[in-house]
Amino acid sequence: MDRFGAPVLAEGEAPYGGTHILFTNLEPQSLPPLVGIDMRPHQSTARDDRTPLELDGVTPKLLRAWRYVLRAGDADEELAHDQAEQNKTTVGLGGGTRH
């Protein structure tokens, strides 16, 4: 897991040190009754109706974290695309060999 960076609290400030591991201690809003295993903390990140909100009652508290995660994925795809393009160019110049 070290290759993904150290776990960082999602309530902190982006860019979170470039990590790919965010966690939160926020409790979900509108807590459902406890039934069997306690899944309430997971629901704070996985369900829209449980997402903790800022004092305005509209803005998700994890908005910065979600934007970071979504952009980080875009950056990974862009890097993979750039590497693929570089490989195509290198293969073409090397007569079928990769450098």
Q: Domain limits of the chain?
A: 2-93
- Record the tokens describing residue 2, joined without a space: 């070290």
| DSSP secondary structure code for residue 72 in this structure | H
Tell whether the torsion through CA atoms of 74, 8, 18 and 61 is positive or negative. Answer: positive
Average pLDDT of 74-99?
A: 58
Please check whether residue 51 is in contact with residue 44, taking contact to mean a CB–CB distance below 8 angstroms: yes
C-alpha span between 53 and 7 (Å, rounded):
23
Give the HSE-up count for residue 22: Cα atoms under 13 Å, Cβ half-sphere. 23
Query: What digits encode the pLDDT tens for the residues 11-63?
Result: 888 788 888 898 888 888 876 666 666 666 677 777 788 888 999 999 999 98
Please check whether residue 24 is in contact with residue 11, taking contact to mean a CB–CB distance below 8 angstroms: yes
Average pLDDT of 66-80?
A: 68
Q: Would you state the pLDDT for residue 49?
A: 83
Of 40, 45, 39, the residue nearest 11 (C-alpha):
45
